[in-house]
Amino acid sequence: MHYPRVEIQFCTKCKWNLRAAWYLQELLQTFGDQLGEVALAPGESGTFRVLVTVAEGQNELEVWERKKDGGFPDSKELKRRVRNIISPDQNLGHVDRHGQGDGLLVTESQPTSECQECK
C-alpha cells in the first residue's frame, strides 16, 4: 500500500457508489500525488465513512462518518478535514476562504433584497 491512504466506505444497497466516486475524484483533483491511494470500499448497511491512514503501522483516523456528522460532507469540508491530517500547512485557496455567511446558504445577517430581474 501507498500512503497517505484515504478509504471511502459506503453502502452499496443505499446506492452511494457514485457519491463515493465523486468524493474520490474531488480528493484526487485537489491533492493529486500527495495521496498514495484513494480506495472505495463497500461497507455495511447505511455506512458512509471516510478514513485516512497517514503511514504504515499507524491507526486509521476517521475524517467523516455520516451518522455522527449528520449526513454527507460538502466537498470543501471533506478537503479541509483531509488536508488537516495529511498536510496541515497547505493552502487550499478558495476552499479555505470564507465568504459572507461562512458557507451557509442563508444567514440572518444577510439583508433581504428584491430580485432585480423581477422588477
Residue whose C-alpha is closest to residue 52's, from 17, 87, 11: 87
DSSP 67-99: HHHTSPPPHHHHHHHHHHHH-TT---GGGT---
Neighbours of 71 (CB within 10 A): 9
* pLDDT tens for each residue of 3-53: 999 999 999 999 999 999 999 999 999 999 999 999 999 999 999 999 999
pLDDT grade for 98, boundaries at 50, 70 and 90: low
What is the rounded CA–CA span in Å between residue 10 and residue 54? 21
* pLDDT tens for each residue of 70-85: 889 999 999 999 999 9
Q: Are 46 and 67 in contact (CB under 8 A)?
A: yes
pTM metric for this prediction: 0.79
C-alpha cell at 89: 500547512
CATH number 3.40.30.10 is the correct assignment for the domain at 5-95: yes
